[in-house]
Structure 1
């Protein structure tokens, strides 16, 4: 298992962060109460897990269509290797981009984008390409035709719970 160095408390904390983050004035204290540790210990562990690259961010996942972003696309770009960081920076500044990633492929930089409608989506893709210095010939735009939502869930315990069923 990749996460062998995580102790039981780390694993329980990760389960809570994924599935049951408390909407409370002091969420870290609430998590600490559930785990039987002080709030400061929860924060220390979250910082360590973030520093180690295990936790990327703690944030909500929004349903884009319910907030008016009904058009979406997956875009692949052919970017020269020496311009990948610069191009990724351009992509990251766009509010409708949920994520981007590098692939070992002719189209090496990919991102997903949501917008209020197809016209806004097209304008945003064109704008990103122009700011990144990418020609239309080096752009692969794959607008969503139908959405299939799945949940991504990482299990840290084979039975779905910790030693105490947390």
Structure 2
């Protein structure tokens, strides 16, 4: 899906949700005040954008080390295509998994995992491997050595640039 379905208010709403979600008793009303629409319209747009798959969720991005999970790893697995959904379901049951995605590669299923320490991290990777039945030869465990945090922010072209179909 392209951003052709986004009007000016959708773009403004997405900008606020990315950058400056208000920590207020009525955040949706405050967002509406910022972009000039009623609270109910904000909620309708959020539901529509979520329903259309443009937005996945509204949630905080947590710094895992600061909440007691300083050990992390990136794991790649070779998974038969007909078992990807089953493996992903098993992986997603782990509370420390923050991302899980499919790639067009020999190691086709990847996920990130955070844990309280290296021992817990290794144990969880081993448990996932045991539950999925993946062999050690089909698993890459790439523990983080150093973190390089970046902010992810999507920019939206202004109206009139073809972004909304005009």
When normalised by structure 2's length, the TM-score is: 0.91
1:44 aligns with 2:74: no
Q: What is the CA-CA distance between 1:4 and the residue it aligns to?
A: 2.3
In 2, the alpha carbon distance for the partners of 1:131 and 1:44 equals 41
- Give the equivalent residue in structure 1 for 2:13: 13
Residue 38 of structure 1: CA displacement?
Answer: 1.2
CA distance in 1, matches of 2:150, 2:73: 17
How far the C-alpha of 1:26 sits from its partner, in A, is 1.6
Task: Report the equivalent of 1:75.
Answer: 75
* Distance of 1:80 and 1:4 partners within structure 2: 36
1:23 matches 2:23: yes
Q: Deviations over 1:39-74 (max 9, x none)?
A: 111111011111111101100001111111111100
CA RMSD of aligned residues (A): 1.3
Q: Which residue of 2 aligns with 1:151?
A: 151
In 2, the alpha carbon distance for the partners of 1:45 and 1:114 equals 33
Match of 2:90 in 1: 90
Equivalent in the alignment of 2:127? 127
Ranges in structure 2 where 5+ consecutive residues have no aligned partner:
159-166
Structure 1 runs, 4 residues or longer, greater than 6 Å off: none
For residues 62-121 of structure 1, the C-alpha deviation after alignment (integer angstroms, 9 at most, x for no partner) is 111111111110000011111100110111111101111000110000000011111000
1:5 Cα shift?
Answer: 2.1
| Residues 103-152 of structure 1: CA deviation (Å, up to 9, x unaligned) | 01100000000111110000001111111221222111001111111111
Q: Mark the runs of 5 or more structure 1 residues left unpaired by the alignment.
A: 159-166
Identify the residue that residue 65 of structure 1 maps to in structure 2: 65
Paired residue total: 158
Cα distance in 1 for residues equivalent to 2:108 and 2:27: 39
